[in-house]
Chain A
Amino acid sequence: MSHGSIIKIPFGPQHPALKEPVNFLFEVDGETVVNVKPRIGYNHRGIEKAFELRTYTRNIYLAERICGICSDAHTTCYTQAIEELLGVEAPLRARYIRVIIAELERIQSHALWLGLVAHEIGFDTLFMYIWRDRETILDIFEMISGNRIHYAMNTIGGVRRDIHAAMMPKIKKGLDLMEKRVKYYLDVVQTEQTILKRATGVGILKPKDAVDLCAVGPILRASGIKNDVRADDPYAAYNEIPFNVITCDGCDILSRIMVRLEEMLEGVEIARHALDSMPEGVIRVRVPMKVPQGEVVSRVEAPRGELIHYAKSNGTTKPERYKVRSPTLGNIPALCKMLLGGYVADIPIVLAGIDPCFACMDRMAFIDTKKNRKWVLTMPQLRRKYKRKCMQK
């Protein structure tokens, strides 16, 4: 029902925890979103320029710091790009270790996301449970690398640390625990009314729109499109490990939850398989400082979707041009589409649904352009607003 006046809502932009803080300008008619304009870059750090000014070795550390949650995806993408330019290949054992780390990272990243989604829909008990379980994976990372988040495992020509036989029992125990818990959560999200009511039919992205808007990762797969860089364009040791590409055709938030949970289970299987079939041998080869002239496109399936790096070298120790496109940027046009026609109260959950690293907003200012009024809603107030709405239903 039209209320006759379009209200503009600036949304964001400051989200201290986000990799890419986002500002949206929403135009709403009553409770319905009729237009969305994104404005990104509030945390633009000029990393692409910084890549051109540092040596290839120092750039590993820079790539690690593009993202806090999927740091390993970026270094994998970076190191395999430079390896291709150098014409070297990482040893097989190193590539298996990359797979193990990537899958553990996917499990912890999806767990983090699911916790946030639970929090957004006001189901804080689930949030606490999931984040407790996520600690298992972070502890494994700490044992392997000494760090919980920035593991700094990759280097040009291989990996920096080995996974020793003594670590195997703890990793496998952790994976068993995660499997048990994820299966339990799969049961919970399919039976618990709090989640079903909040996530079914919300944030619809039709398969055609998903393809046209170039969506990536779990968002694309939750719209029924079977696309995964690990399977389509295998890197590291993914061509030697059997796994399934998970899809779901619900096109809504529930499908995105299901896809990610199933991917966690698949990740457990991949990590187990890699641990068992990992060959003996060296974990890195030494590479020269200077990289010959050339260019390369490198792709990785990060937890949030397709990550693509482009590198151009000029024969010196520093790259000529380095381009990074993170999955979140790829999903923003699709996100705008999902928000269109939805309710204001659905904004937090739909935004969280694409997993833009940490999808949370500090505050929102509502401006009524006709009456020239302005007021601000905090996140808890907004949550209460939609909770009331749900109760009325």
Chain B
Amino acid sequence: MEKENEIVEMLKEFLKENFVKANIPNRRRIFVHIKKDALKDTVKYLVKDLQFKHLSTITGVDLGKKIEVIYHLAYKGSIELSLRLTVSKKNPSVSTITHLIPGAVLYEREVHELLGVNFEGHPDLSPLILPEEWPEGVYPLRKEHELAYLKEITSKKSKREKRN
């Protein structure tokens, strides 16, 4: 657990007032909550100085009024650091990290499409997963969309296809 504590301390020192909180629930697992504006600098610091070069994935979570974006970064494949920040649901927007980690390109598009988070500066946020006829502004992983409503969308689509 020494290495994990050391990483948290270094991040705390680096982030200063942008640090919200951190916890180490288990061996090789770290959760760090930061302020939204510090994302680019923090990821740069993690990649360049702390050797967190591998991005496992990006998760989006609907918290009700806010949306949480979690970046799962790995240190030499071993320690998995989950860097989290929240964005407002009205204007969910955060800067892209694709210029720091090119491998983030599809993960950002996935979160954009399923939860409606806008990644500023992303080279291409065109649809990736949902059907081509999916209505704009409906983000299926948001809690306000009941399954029945999503089913309605897909059944309308299949009816149209049958007609054609």
Residues in B with CB closer than 8 Å to A323 are 57, 59
CB distance from B130 to the nearest CB of A (A): 6
Q: A84 contacts the other chain (Cβ, under 8 Å)?
A: yes
User: Which residue of A has the minimal Cβ distance to B79?
Assistant: A233
- In the assembly, what is the distance between CA of A308 and CA of B141, in Å? 18
Chain A 308-323 per-residue mask, 1 if CB under 8 angstroms from chain B, else 0:
1010100000001101
Are B78 and A296 within 8 A (Cβ)?
no
Residue from B61, B80, B102 in contact with A297 in the complex, judged by beta carbons closer than 8 Å: B80
Known: A297-B72, A325-B56. A212 touches B31 (CB 8 A): no
Residue from B31, B57, B61, B77 in contact with A325 in the complex, judged by beta carbons closer than 8 Å: B57
Q: Which of B31, B53, B103 has the most CB of A within 10 A?
A: B103
| Residues from 60 to 114 in B contacting A, C-beta threshold 8 Å | 61-62, 70, 72, 76-80, 82, 101-107, 110, 114
Residues in B with CB closer than 8 Å to A295 are 25, 31
Residues in A with CB closer than 8 Å to B80 are 233, 297, 299, 308
Chain A 33-56 per-residue mask, 1 if CB under 8 angstroms from chain B, else 0:
000011111001010110001000
CB distance from A20 to the nearest CB of B (A): 10
Pick out which of these stretches binds chain B: A4-12, A96-104, A106-114, A328-336: A328-336
Are B101 and A233 within 8 A (Cβ)?
no
Are A214 and B103 within 8 A (Cβ)?
yes
Are B54 and A214 within 8 A (Cβ)?
yes
CB distance from A53 to the nearest CB of B (A): 6
Residues in B with CB closer than 8 Å to A325 are 56-57, 107
- In the assembly, what is the distance between CA of A9 and CA of B10, in Å? 49
Residues in A with CB closer than 8 Å to B29 are 296-297
**Interface of B (DSSP majority class):** mixed
Q: A32 contacts the other chain (Cβ, under 8 Å)?
A: no
CB distance from B25 to the nearest CB of A (A): 7
Residues in B with CB closer than 8 Å to A262 are none
Residues in A with CB closer than 8 Å to B55 are 214
Known: A44-B130, A49-B140, A49-B147. A333 touches B76 (CB 8 A): no
Q: A211 contacts the other chain (Cβ, under 8 Å)?
A: yes
How many residues on the A side are at the interface (Cβ–Cβ under 8 A)? 39
Residues in B with CB closer than 8 Å to A299 are 56, 80
Residues in A with CB closer than 8 Å to B102 are 212-213, 333
Chain A 375-391 per-residue mask, 1 if CB under 8 angstroms from chain B, else 0:
00000000000000000
Are A212 and B101 within 8 A (Cβ)?
yes
Pick out which of these stretches binds chain B: A58-66, A130-138, A224-232, A283-291: A224-232
Known: A40-B128, A333-B105. A310 touches B59 (CB 8 A): yes
Q: B150 contacts the other chain (Cβ, under 8 Å)?
A: yes
Are A310 and B72 within 8 A (Cβ)?
yes
Q: A120 contacts the other chain (Cβ, under 8 Å)?
A: no
User: Which residue of A has the minimal Cβ distance to B151?
Assistant: A46
CB distance from A146 to the nearest CB of B (A): 32
Residues in B with CB closer than 8 Å to A40 are 106, 128-129
- In the assembly, what is the distance between CA of A367 and CA of B76, in Å? 43
- In the assembly, what is the distance between CA of A215 and CA of B106, in Å? 12
Known: A49-B141, A321-B61. A232 touches B105 (CB 8 A): no
User: Which residue of B has the minimal Cβ distance to A211?
Assistant: B53
Residues in B with CB closer than 8 Å to A215 are 103
Q: B48 contacts the other chain (Cβ, under 8 Å)?
A: no
- In the assembly, what is the distance between CA of A41 and CA of B80, in Å? 27
Known: A212-B103, A306-B56, A325-B57. A232 touches B78 (CB 8 A): yes
Are A228 and B77 within 8 A (Cβ)?
yes
- In the assembly, what is the distance between CA of A277 and CA of B52, in Å? 35
Residues in B with CB closer than 8 Å to A211 are 53-54
- In the assembly, what is the distance between CA of A48 and CA of B105, in Å? 20
User: Which residue of B has the minimal Cβ distance to A334?
Assistant: B103
Known: A40-B129, A214-B55, A214-B103. A227 touches B72 (CB 8 A): no
- In the assembly, what is the distance between CA of A233 and CA of B29, in Å? 10
Known: A49-B141, A214-B101, A310-B59. A333 touches B77 (CB 8 A): no
- In the assembly, what is the distance between CA of A214 and CA of B71, in Å? 13
**9 A–B contacts from the bound complex (CB under 8 Å):** A38-B106, A41-B131, A44-B131, A214-B54, A232-B78, A233-B78, A308-B56, A310-B72, A321-B61
Please give 9 more A-B residue pairs, beta carbons under 8 A apart, in addition to A296-B29, A333-B105. A38-B106, A41-B131, A49-B140, A214-B54, A229-B77, A232-B77, A297-B29, A308-B72, A325-B56
Seen from chain A, the residues whose Cβ lies within 8 Å of a Cβ on chain B are 37-41, 44, 46, 48-49, 53, 84, 211-215, 227-229, 232-233, 294-297, 299, 306, 308, 310, 312, 320-321, 323, 325, 329-330, 332-334
